[in-house]
Amino acid sequence: MQYMSKVYIILLNYNGWKDTLECLESILKNDYTNYQIIVVDNNSLDNSMNYIINWAKGSEDVIYSDDSELKYLTQPLSKKPLKYILYANNEIQLCKIKEREENLDNPIIFIQSDENAGFAAGNNIGIKYALEKNDFEYIWLLNNDTVMLNNSLSSLVMFARANNLGLTGSKLINYYEPSVVQAYGGHINKFFGTSTHILKEEDITSKLDYIVGASFLIDKSVINKIGLLPEDYFLFYEETDYCFKTRNAGFKIDVDVNSIIYHKEGISTGSKTPSKMMDLLQIRNRIKFHKKYLGGGMGLFFSLGLVLFNRLKRLQFDRAFAILKYIITIPLL
Protein backbone atom coordinates (compact mmCIF):
# COMPACT_ATOMS: atom_id res chain seq x y z
CA MET A 1 0.00 0.00 0.00
CA GLN A 2 1.67 3.19 -1.16
CA TYR A 3 -0.27 5.54 1.08
CA MET A 4 -1.71 4.48 4.41
CA SER A 5 -4.70 6.53 5.46
CA LYS A 6 -4.87 7.06 9.20
CA VAL A 7 -7.32 4.78 10.96
CA TYR A 8 -8.65 5.24 14.48
CA ILE A 9 -9.40 1.85 16.02
CA ILE A 10 -12.10 2.19 18.67
CA LEU A 11 -12.66 -0.51 21.29
CA LEU A 12 -15.63 -0.19 23.63
CA ASN A 13 -15.11 -1.89 26.98
CA TYR A 14 -17.81 -2.74 29.49
CA ASN A 15 -16.82 -5.12 32.29
CA GLY A 16 -14.59 -6.92 29.78
CA TRP A 17 -10.99 -5.89 30.45
CA LYS A 18 -9.64 -9.44 30.00
CA ASP A 19 -11.01 -9.60 26.45
CA THR A 20 -9.88 -6.03 25.78
CA LEU A 21 -6.27 -6.83 26.68
CA GLU A 22 -6.19 -9.81 24.32
CA CYS A 23 -7.72 -7.70 21.56
CA LEU A 24 -5.20 -4.91 22.11
CA GLU A 25 -2.28 -7.32 21.89
CA SER A 26 -3.53 -8.62 18.53
CA ILE A 27 -3.92 -5.05 17.23
CA LEU A 28 -0.35 -4.21 18.19
CA LYS A 29 0.84 -7.06 15.95
CA ASN A 30 -0.98 -5.89 12.84
CA ASP A 31 0.92 -4.88 9.69
CA TYR A 32 -0.94 -1.60 9.09
CA THR A 33 1.22 1.12 10.61
CA ASN A 34 -0.85 4.31 10.39
CA TYR A 35 -3.36 3.78 13.17
CA GLN A 36 -4.16 4.96 16.66
CA ILE A 37 -6.07 3.03 19.31
CA ILE A 38 -8.90 4.50 21.38
CA VAL A 39 -10.32 2.48 24.26
CA VAL A 40 -13.56 3.83 25.70
CA ASP A 41 -14.71 2.34 28.99
CA ASN A 42 -18.49 2.52 29.25
CA ASN A 43 -18.57 3.10 33.02
CA SER A 44 -17.67 -0.50 33.88
CA LEU A 45 -18.49 -1.90 37.32
CA ASP A 46 -15.38 -4.12 37.54
CA ASN A 47 -12.63 -1.47 37.68
CA SER A 48 -11.77 -2.25 34.05
CA MET A 49 -9.84 0.92 33.30
CA ASN A 50 -7.34 0.31 36.10
CA TYR A 51 -6.59 -3.16 34.73
CA ILE A 52 -6.18 -1.77 31.21
CA ILE A 53 -3.86 0.99 32.38
CA ASN A 54 -1.83 -1.52 34.38
CA TRP A 55 -1.48 -3.57 31.21
CA ALA A 56 -0.09 -0.53 29.38
CA LYS A 57 2.35 -0.01 32.24
CA GLY A 58 3.44 -3.66 32.08
CA SER A 59 2.00 -4.88 35.36
CA GLU A 60 -1.04 -6.79 34.02
CA ASP A 61 -0.84 -9.74 31.62
CA VAL A 62 -3.35 -11.17 29.19
CA ILE A 63 -5.52 -13.89 30.71
CA TYR A 64 -6.48 -16.39 28.04
CA SER A 65 -9.52 -18.64 27.93
CA ASP A 66 -8.63 -22.22 28.81
CA ASP A 67 -9.99 -23.46 25.49
CA SER A 68 -8.37 -20.76 23.31
CA GLU A 69 -6.69 -22.00 20.13
CA LEU A 70 -5.66 -18.47 19.10
CA LYS A 71 -2.96 -17.51 21.59
CA TYR A 72 -0.49 -17.40 18.71
CA LEU A 73 -2.19 -14.23 17.40
CA THR A 74 -1.05 -12.25 20.45
CA GLN A 75 2.25 -13.87 21.41
CA PRO A 76 4.90 -12.88 22.13
CA LEU A 77 3.23 -10.07 24.03
CA SER A 78 4.15 -6.47 23.19
CA LYS A 79 6.93 -4.72 25.05
CA LYS A 80 5.84 -2.50 27.90
CA PRO A 81 5.40 0.17 29.08
CA LEU A 82 3.30 1.71 26.33
CA LYS A 83 2.57 5.41 25.90
CA TYR A 84 -1.00 6.30 26.85
CA ILE A 85 -3.20 9.20 27.91
CA LEU A 86 -6.32 8.89 30.06
CA TYR A 87 -9.20 11.30 29.45
CA ALA A 88 -12.60 11.70 31.01
CA ASN A 89 -15.34 11.79 28.40
CA ASN A 90 -15.95 15.50 29.12
CA GLU A 91 -12.33 16.36 28.28
CA ILE A 92 -12.54 15.68 24.55
CA GLN A 93 -11.94 19.17 23.20
CA LEU A 94 -9.15 20.00 20.80
CA CYS A 95 -7.48 22.52 23.10
CA LYS A 96 -7.18 20.00 25.92
CA ILE A 97 -6.12 17.23 23.53
CA LYS A 98 -3.28 19.36 22.13
CA GLU A 99 -2.12 20.31 25.60
CA ARG A 100 -2.06 16.72 26.86
CA GLU A 101 -0.50 15.17 23.75
CA GLU A 102 2.00 17.86 22.77
CA ASN A 103 5.07 15.79 23.69
CA LEU A 104 3.74 12.31 22.92
CA ASP A 105 3.80 10.54 19.57
CA ASN A 106 0.75 8.36 18.85
CA PRO A 107 -0.18 7.29 22.39
CA ILE A 108 -3.00 4.85 23.11
CA ILE A 109 -6.02 6.92 24.11
CA PHE A 110 -8.04 5.73 27.10
CA ILE A 111 -11.35 7.50 27.71
CA GLN A 112 -13.35 6.89 30.88
CA SER A 113 -17.05 7.56 30.44
CA ASP A 114 -19.07 8.53 33.50
CA GLU A 115 -22.16 6.66 32.30
CA ASN A 116 -23.18 3.67 30.24
CA ALA A 117 -25.50 5.13 27.62
CA GLY A 118 -25.22 2.14 25.30
CA PHE A 119 -23.13 0.75 22.45
CA ALA A 120 -23.57 3.65 20.04
CA ALA A 121 -23.05 6.36 22.67
CA GLY A 122 -19.86 4.73 23.90
CA ASN A 123 -18.42 4.40 20.40
CA ASN A 124 -19.49 7.96 19.62
CA ILE A 125 -17.24 9.21 22.44
CA GLY A 126 -14.29 7.72 20.57
CA ILE A 127 -15.51 9.07 17.24
CA LYS A 128 -15.85 12.57 18.73
CA TYR A 129 -12.22 12.39 19.85
CA ALA A 130 -11.16 11.46 16.30
CA LEU A 131 -13.26 14.28 14.84
CA GLU A 132 -11.57 16.77 17.16
CA LYS A 133 -8.16 15.62 15.88
CA ASN A 134 -9.49 15.57 12.27
CA ASP A 135 -6.44 13.68 10.97
CA PHE A 136 -7.99 10.43 9.74
CA GLU A 137 -9.82 8.84 6.82
CA TYR A 138 -11.35 5.84 8.54
CA ILE A 139 -12.84 4.84 11.88
CA TRP A 140 -12.70 1.14 12.71
CA LEU A 141 -15.16 0.03 15.36
CA LEU A 142 -13.82 -3.28 16.63
CA ASN A 143 -15.49 -5.31 19.36
CA ASN A 144 -13.26 -5.75 22.38
CA ASP A 145 -14.07 -9.49 22.42
CA THR A 146 -12.21 -10.11 19.16
CA VAL A 147 -8.71 -10.88 17.93
CA MET A 148 -7.41 -10.15 14.45
CA LEU A 149 -4.98 -11.57 11.95
CA ASN A 150 -2.01 -9.30 11.35
CA ASN A 151 -3.28 -8.30 7.87
CA SER A 152 -6.97 -7.87 8.75
CA LEU A 153 -6.91 -4.08 8.88
CA SER A 154 -4.65 -3.55 5.87
CA SER A 155 -6.90 -5.79 3.79
CA LEU A 156 -10.01 -3.99 5.05
CA VAL A 157 -8.70 -0.53 4.16
CA MET A 158 -7.47 -1.60 0.71
CA PHE A 159 -10.81 -3.25 -0.05
CA ALA A 160 -12.75 -0.19 1.12
CA ARG A 161 -10.66 2.17 -0.98
CA ALA A 162 -10.63 -0.04 -4.09
CA ASN A 163 -14.43 -0.34 -4.03
CA ASN A 164 -15.23 3.21 -2.88
CA LEU A 165 -17.17 1.96 0.14
CA GLY A 166 -18.82 3.95 2.88
CA LEU A 167 -18.97 1.02 5.31
CA THR A 168 -16.94 -2.18 5.21
CA GLY A 169 -17.14 -5.34 7.30
CA SER A 170 -14.93 -8.35 7.89
CA LYS A 171 -15.42 -12.09 7.76
CA LEU A 172 -16.28 -13.03 11.35
CA ILE A 173 -15.13 -16.40 12.67
CA ASN A 174 -16.12 -18.09 15.94
CA TYR A 175 -13.24 -17.56 18.37
CA TYR A 176 -13.94 -20.85 20.16
CA GLU A 177 -14.48 -22.83 16.96
CA PRO A 178 -12.07 -21.25 14.45
CA SER A 179 -13.37 -23.36 11.59
CA VAL A 180 -16.91 -21.97 11.94
CA VAL A 181 -18.06 -18.78 10.19
CA GLN A 182 -20.19 -16.48 12.32
CA ALA A 183 -21.14 -13.97 9.67
CA TYR A 184 -20.41 -12.30 6.35
CA GLY A 185 -22.65 -9.40 7.32
CA GLY A 186 -26.38 -9.66 7.83
CA HIS A 187 -29.74 -9.76 6.06
CA ILE A 188 -33.07 -8.16 7.02
CA ASN A 189 -36.38 -9.80 6.21
CA LYS A 190 -38.19 -6.77 4.79
CA PHE A 191 -41.63 -8.11 5.78
CA PHE A 192 -40.98 -9.28 9.35
CA GLY A 193 -38.03 -7.02 10.15
CA THR A 194 -36.02 -9.94 11.53
CA SER A 195 -32.27 -10.09 11.07
CA THR A 196 -30.10 -13.10 10.20
CA HIS A 197 -26.38 -13.51 9.66
CA ILE A 198 -25.13 -14.34 6.18
CA LEU A 199 -23.17 -17.60 6.45
CA LYS A 200 -22.21 -18.19 2.81
CA GLU A 201 -19.79 -15.98 0.91
CA GLU A 202 -21.75 -16.36 -2.30
CA ASP A 203 -24.82 -14.77 -0.63
CA ILE A 204 -23.12 -11.45 0.17
CA THR A 205 -23.99 -9.75 -3.12
CA SER A 206 -27.68 -10.64 -3.06
CA LYS A 207 -28.42 -10.51 0.68
CA LEU A 208 -26.15 -7.97 2.38
CA ASP A 209 -28.22 -5.37 4.23
CA TYR A 210 -25.93 -4.50 7.13
CA ILE A 211 -22.41 -4.88 8.46
CA VAL A 212 -22.13 -6.73 11.75
CA GLY A 213 -20.84 -4.31 14.39
CA ALA A 214 -17.99 -6.54 15.61
CA SER A 215 -15.87 -5.15 12.75
CA PHE A 216 -17.25 -1.94 11.26
CA LEU A 217 -15.03 0.30 9.11
CA ILE A 218 -16.49 3.76 8.49
CA ASP A 219 -15.23 6.17 5.85
CA LYS A 220 -14.93 9.69 7.23
CA SER A 221 -17.13 11.03 4.43
CA VAL A 222 -20.03 8.99 5.83
CA ILE A 223 -19.68 10.57 9.26
CA ASN A 224 -19.43 14.03 7.70
CA LYS A 225 -22.67 13.47 5.77
CA ILE A 226 -24.93 11.50 8.14
CA GLY A 227 -23.36 12.04 11.54
CA LEU A 228 -22.67 9.76 14.49
CA LEU A 229 -24.17 6.39 15.37
CA PRO A 230 -27.82 6.50 16.50
CA GLU A 231 -27.92 6.47 20.30
CA ASP A 232 -31.62 5.78 20.82
CA TYR A 233 -31.30 1.97 20.54
CA PHE A 234 -28.86 1.47 23.47
CA LEU A 235 -28.01 -2.02 22.16
CA PHE A 236 -29.04 -4.05 19.08
CA TYR A 237 -29.99 -2.64 15.63
CA GLU A 238 -27.86 0.51 15.86
CA GLU A 239 -25.37 -0.73 13.25
CA THR A 240 -28.27 -1.93 11.10
CA ASP A 241 -29.86 1.52 11.30
CA TYR A 242 -26.54 3.15 10.41
CA CYS A 243 -26.10 0.87 7.39
CA PHE A 244 -29.59 1.69 6.07
CA LYS A 245 -29.01 5.40 6.66
CA THR A 246 -25.63 5.17 4.92
CA ARG A 247 -27.11 3.49 1.85
CA ASN A 248 -29.98 5.96 1.75
CA ALA A 249 -27.34 8.72 1.63
CA GLY A 250 -25.84 7.20 -1.52
CA PHE A 251 -22.91 5.22 -0.10
CA LYS A 252 -22.07 1.57 -0.73
CA ILE A 253 -21.46 -1.15 1.87
CA ASP A 254 -19.67 -4.48 1.47
CA VAL A 255 -17.71 -7.19 3.29
CA ASP A 256 -14.04 -7.97 2.77
CA VAL A 257 -13.79 -11.75 3.01
CA ASN A 258 -10.00 -11.53 3.33
CA SER A 259 -10.22 -9.47 6.52
CA ILE A 260 -10.53 -12.14 9.21
CA ILE A 261 -11.77 -11.37 12.73
CA TYR A 262 -12.24 -13.99 15.44
CA HIS A 263 -15.18 -13.07 17.66
CA LYS A 264 -16.28 -14.34 21.06
CA GLU A 265 -19.94 -13.80 20.18
CA GLY A 266 -22.17 -13.01 23.14
CA ILE A 267 -19.36 -11.89 25.45
CA SER A 268 -19.84 -8.16 24.85
CA THR A 269 -23.49 -8.37 25.92
CA GLY A 270 -22.66 -10.43 28.99
CA SER A 271 -24.13 -13.77 27.92
CA LYS A 272 -24.73 -16.03 24.96
CA THR A 273 -28.29 -16.47 26.26
CA PRO A 274 -30.19 -13.16 26.21
CA SER A 275 -31.60 -12.03 29.54
CA LYS A 276 -35.20 -10.91 29.92
CA MET A 277 -34.04 -7.30 29.63
CA MET A 278 -32.02 -8.04 26.48
CA ASP A 279 -34.96 -9.94 25.03
CA LEU A 280 -37.24 -6.96 25.52
CA LEU A 281 -34.60 -4.59 24.18
CA GLN A 282 -34.32 -6.60 20.98
CA ILE A 283 -38.09 -6.47 20.52
CA ARG A 284 -38.26 -2.75 21.23
CA ASN A 285 -35.50 -2.00 18.77
CA ARG A 286 -36.92 -4.24 16.06
CA ILE A 287 -40.14 -2.27 16.29
CA LYS A 288 -38.25 1.03 16.21
CA PHE A 289 -36.16 -0.04 13.21
CA HIS A 290 -39.09 -1.58 11.28
CA LYS A 291 -41.27 1.50 11.66
CA LYS A 292 -38.38 3.79 10.68
CA TYR A 293 -37.19 1.98 7.54
CA LEU A 294 -39.78 -0.67 6.61
CA GLY A 295 -43.02 1.12 7.41
CA GLY A 296 -44.36 -1.01 10.27
CA GLY A 297 -47.62 -2.75 9.42
CA MET A 298 -48.84 -6.33 9.34
CA GLY A 299 -45.42 -7.93 8.83
CA LEU A 300 -44.20 -6.44 12.09
CA PHE A 301 -47.45 -7.50 13.81
CA PHE A 302 -47.08 -11.12 12.67
CA SER A 303 -43.37 -11.30 13.60
CA LEU A 304 -44.10 -10.12 17.13
CA GLY A 305 -46.88 -12.70 17.36
CA LEU A 306 -44.35 -15.41 16.50
CA VAL A 307 -42.02 -14.12 19.22
CA LEU A 308 -44.81 -14.31 21.78
CA PHE A 309 -45.72 -17.83 20.63
CA ASN A 310 -42.10 -18.98 20.95
CA ARG A 311 -41.75 -17.55 24.45
CA LEU A 312 -44.96 -19.27 25.54
CA LYS A 313 -43.82 -22.52 23.90
CA ARG A 314 -40.61 -22.33 25.97
CA LEU A 315 -42.73 -21.64 29.08
CA GLN A 316 -41.10 -18.21 29.42
CA PHE A 317 -44.32 -16.65 30.66
CA ASP A 318 -42.65 -13.67 32.35
CA ARG A 319 -40.90 -12.73 29.09
CA ALA A 320 -44.06 -13.17 27.06
CA PHE A 321 -45.99 -10.95 29.49
CA ALA A 322 -43.28 -8.25 29.44
CA ILE A 323 -43.20 -8.26 25.63
CA LEU A 324 -46.99 -8.15 25.35
CA LYS A 325 -47.17 -5.33 27.90
CA TYR A 326 -44.70 -3.33 25.83
CA ILE A 327 -46.37 -4.05 22.50
CA ILE A 328 -49.83 -2.91 23.54
CA THR A 329 -48.49 0.50 24.56
CA ILE A 330 -47.34 1.46 21.03
CA PRO A 331 -49.01 1.57 17.61
CA LEU A 332 -47.61 -0.98 15.14
CA LEU A 333 -49.47 0.11 12.03
What does the pLDDT read at residue 323? 72
Taking the C-alpha atoms of residue 286 and residue 280, their distance in angstroms, rounded to an integer, is 10
Query: Could you tell me the fold of the domain covering 7-263?
Result: Spore Coat Polysaccharide Biosynthesis Protein SpsA; Chain A (3.90.550)
Residues of the chain predicted below pLDDT 50: 1-2, 267-271, 333
Taking the C-alpha atoms of residue 144 and residue 138, their distance in angstroms, rounded to an integer, is 18
What does the pLDDT read at residue 282? 82
Taking the C-alpha atoms of residue 303 and residue 283, their distance in angstroms, rounded to an integer, is 10
**286: buried, middle or exposed (CB in 10 Å: 19+, 13-18, 0-12)?**
buried
What does the pLDDT read at residue 267? 47
What does the pLDDT read at residue 265? 78
What does the pLDDT read at residue 274? 57
Mean pLDDT (the chain, rounded): 91
The reported pTM is 0.92
Helix (H) or strand (E) holding 187: strand 186-188
Q: Of 68, 49, 67, 55, which Cα lies nearest the Cα of 24?
A: 55
User: For the chain, which residues make up each domain, given as ranges?
Assistant: 7-263, 276-327
